[in-house]
Amino acid sequence: MVAEQLLEDGPAEYHQRRGREDNWVVEKNSAGWAQRPLYVVLFDSEEDGSDQPVRSEPFGEDEPGTVPHHLDRAVAAALPALWYCLHLPNDLTQMLDLPANAITALQRLDLSHDILLMPTKFFTEKLIRNLATTAHPMLVICPDGRLDHVAPISKSLGFALAAIGFSRLSDESLHEHWRQIHRHHLSDQPYLGREPSLPGRLDLAPTALPMRWLARQYIDRPWAEIGSESEIDPLVKDAIRLLLGNSTTNALDQAGATQEEAIARWDETCSEQLKRFSPVVAVSMPGVPASYSRMALTPATRSRMRRIPSLDPEDTWSLEIGTRPDSLTERAAIELVVTRRAIGRGGIGIPLPEVPQEAFTQLAELERHFEGTVNGTKVWRMLERLNQAANVSWTPGVLTAISRASMIHAYTNFPIGLLRLPSDTAPLMTRVPIAYRPVLPLTRTLQLELSRSPGITLRNRCKVLVAECIPTSDPVGVASRQGWDVSEQYFAGQAPAVELQRTEALSIAELQTAIKTHRPDILVISAHGSLSRENNTAALVIGKDLCLGPELDEVPPVVILSACYTAPRGRAIVGVADLLLRQGALAVLGTQVPVDVRYNAALMVRFFVYIGEVLAGRESHSNLLEVWHRTQASNAINDVLLASRSLHAWGRSRTESGSSVLAEFMERRSVGRLRRGHIYSDTEMVLCDMADSMGVGSQVRNWLKRPGYAPESFFYVFVGRPDSIYFDDPFSAAGFD
């Protein structure tokens, strides 16, 4: 058992952490913790055009980007500098000797490295002064030939460290930079030391580097000896041990245990902490469908492609990262953003293998099935085939981390939430909240992911704008308006914290005007979707206009696309959901398949009801992703009862208590009986128990088999950073003043 293995080490390397609260009090009350170091990495490029995904013709041999994920080669040349930055402090507290409660508090924040990636020609005093107002300008790294130009600008802007060229990056320079940062910002505080060293294997870095970051606080051993395993699973287990060791130490400290008492109570306390263990997990799963490669790449370009290895000893840190085969260069970039996210959240990074082409084929068939008459039983069979085709090896350590995750940041173009863990009966998305970060085109992924995103906080009130983009002459437009009519009345009386406004927008110009006029926190676009396989796009239909996202200029922080096919994944079609992230949206909710307008309206209303409950203080969720997961995962009962007229009618019928079947299920019969990862099978079981008590058990069981039900809730994806849409200030929630 993994749980037993996690308890083997005992308290030997943890109980020594006691008595270090004084340093934390000083640092917590200083200005240092509120500002993070700003690192700038420059690259030489005249024109960065490889991140344009909408193509009228295939990428040719003269394209500046790698294949198939399209990373600009000038950016690829800067990858060693970006990896170097991940080995520098992400927050000034990293310089100090921190107690367990401080580490625990910081894990509640997003302290990802703040790295500005930009062409050298844009590195000017005016631009950087505007960008660096909330961070400590720390270090600029540039191509060697640009150092004479960059160094004086860096100095005049107040960067703490002297600018450095790519070729001078080494373990020696890294150690010296750590010492210089401490002397510059925290010279009055004791220095932890134990500077890190550059990695030997980039393919292991998403797991090893965040683990070593925490190990610096606990283990006084040479850096190279910490997490020296050559496979992912032992590294993940080590990371879990470290995280559990910190939470156990914190629990014993909070209980006021003496050192002797802590040693005696270690195993018991660690077992209790294991029950609550819920790390933030970042995963990568690269790959694109063969259909995309055939459409977007010439045969000569496709010949350069090589399957991306999941683990490859060649994938080491060096100044030649960007000159290797495209597969390794792209993998180094993808693992970079995963590692950054795992470090910033004090979590675990897990690089999963490339998506097999058979999985994309099965996914495309599944998405196509929803274009016709949907058969629920067949959908479940197709989901099982998809799970088998993905062929993910859920090793014990990885399974422990994934199954217990509080949230997953998924860097992939594949909906891993549709996959099922070995012991579950429902997909992963019913178990854990998932935020998707598209990795196509990869240049844009780096640009979006490396810079700091403080997010926004919704306090007391949430302003929602519903834009009706379907004419009233269309039955779908009529049904949509009827659904929002009911919603508007509900929110006005029952959930006043949600301020719902509505507008007619039958052209892109009208939608732009409505956004600028109302300035909502959340924009709901009720529209038709347009799927074009000829030009590889999935767009919105605004009135009679096609919209891929850039046409809207600026958009609110959250956009909900109440439309069909806005984020399909089976053929790597360029979807409007992904492109809206370029226009300023922090988070976009999209659909993989055609959705029923009435079903969609009911789901969206439930989403906003839960948001209202959180704002009113009656529900406890820290961010928008958690609320969406509550909405999506708990919608099993609606998926089941809306499958047929017979089930729907029975769900509205009355039980002996006088309540409807649906009401009694939600208020009484299902309480405590719906397990994560089994919510659909458990829902069926509870409904069958209720049907038996009503004397219609055989009928209900027959309806559940024929025609069965299609879990439409599965086919929504939240892309971007919905976890950065907070309901309370994250610093206050973490215990900061």
Q: 644-694: per-residue pLDDT in tens? A: 899 999 999 999 999 999 999 999 999 999 999 999 999 999 999 999 999
Mean pLDDT of the chain: 86
- Which of 212-216, 219-223, 545-549 is predicted least confidently? 219-223
Q: By 3-state DSSP, what share of the chain in percent is helix, strand and coil, each rounded to 5?
A: 50, 15, 35
Task: Give CA–CA dist 726/521, Å, rounded.
Answer: 12
> What pLDDT is stored for residue 322 in this prediction?
63
- What pLDDT, on the 0 to 100 scale, is given for residue 27? 42
Tokens at 577, concatenated: 């959901």
Least reliable range by pLDDT among 262-276, 356-370, 448-462, 542-556: 448-462
* Residue in this structure with the two tokens 């929602």, named with its chain if needed: 464
- pLDDT of 677 reads 94
In the structure, what pLDDT confidence band is assigned to residue 318 with cuts at 50, 70 and 90? low
Residue 18 has pLDDT above 60, yes or no: no
pLDDT at 19: 42
Locate all alpha helices (DSSP H) within 659-736, ordered by sequence.
661-664, 679-693, 697-705, 730-733
C-alpha angle 369-371-372 in degrees, rounded to nearest 5: 80
Distance CA 446, CA 51 (A): 10
Question: Rounded CA gap, 250 and 374, in Å?
Answer: 51
- Residues 352, 310: contact at Cβ < 8 Å? yes
Whole-angstrom CA distances from 259 to 15, 16, 227 are 7, 8, 27
Instruction: Please give the radius of gyration of the chain, using alpha carbons only, rounded to the nearest integer.
Output: 26
The 10s digit of each residue's pLDDT in 279-293 is 999 999 999 988 777
Residue 64 confidence (pLDDT): 59
- Over residues 476-486, the pLDDT tens digits come to 999 999 988 88
pLDDT tens-digit readout, 367-396: 999 999 999 999 999 999 999 999 998 999
- Please tell me the predicted confidence (pLDDT) of residue 460: 83
Do 512 and 549 meet the contact criterion of CB atoms below 8 Å apart?
no
What are the residues whose beta carbons fall under 8 Å from the beta carbon of 107, sequence distance 6 or more? 280, 345, 346, 347
pLDDT of residue 452 exceeding 90:
no
Q: Report d(CA 212, CA 215) in Å as an integer.
A: 5
Task: Categorize the per-residue pLDDT at 29 as very low, low, confident or very high, splitting at 50, 70 and 90.
Answer: very low
Q: Which residues of 665-695 are buried (b: 16+ CB within 10 A; e: fewer)?
A: beeebbeeebeebbbbebbbebbbebbeebe
Q: Is the pLDDT of residue 30 over 60?
A: no
Name the residue among 570, 585, 498, 502 with its Cα closest to residue 538. Answer: 570
| pLDDT given for residue 637 in this prediction | 94
- Residue 463: how many CA atoms within 13 Å on its side-chain side? 9
Q: What confidence score (pLDDT) does residue 14 get?
A: 54
Give the residue with greater pLDDT, 5 vs 621.
621
Selection from 647, 625, 645 nearest residue 636 by Cα = 647
Sorting pLDDT into bands at 50, 70 and 90, what band is 248?
A: very high
Mean pLDDT of 402-413: 97
pTM listed for this prediction:
0.92
Question: Sorting pLDDT into bands at 50, 70 and 90, what band is 28?
Answer: very low
Which pLDDT band, with edges at 50, 70 and 90, does 23 fall under?
Answer: very low
Tell me what pLDDT residue 51 has. Answer: 46
Q: Are 103 and 346 in contact (CB under 8 A)?
A: yes
Stretch 688-705: mean pLDDT:
94
Q: Which residues pair with 537 in a beta bridge?
A: 532, 574
CA distances from 189 to 56, 114, 192, 486 (A): 58, 23, 9, 60
pLDDT at res. 292:
77
- Confidence band for 300, pLDDT divided at 50, 70 and 90: low
Q: What is the pLDDT of residue 131?
A: 59
Contact 410, 427 (CB under 8 A): no
Side by side, the strands of the sheet bearing 434-437 are 348-351, 280-285, 407-412, 434-437, 716-720, 587-591, 558-562, 522-526, 462-468, 498-504
Cis peptide before 206 (omega within 30 of 0): no
pLDDT at 280: 97
Copy the structure tokens of residue 516.
């600028």
| N- to C-terminal Cα separation, the chain | 41
690 close to 667: Cβ distance less than 8 angstroms: no
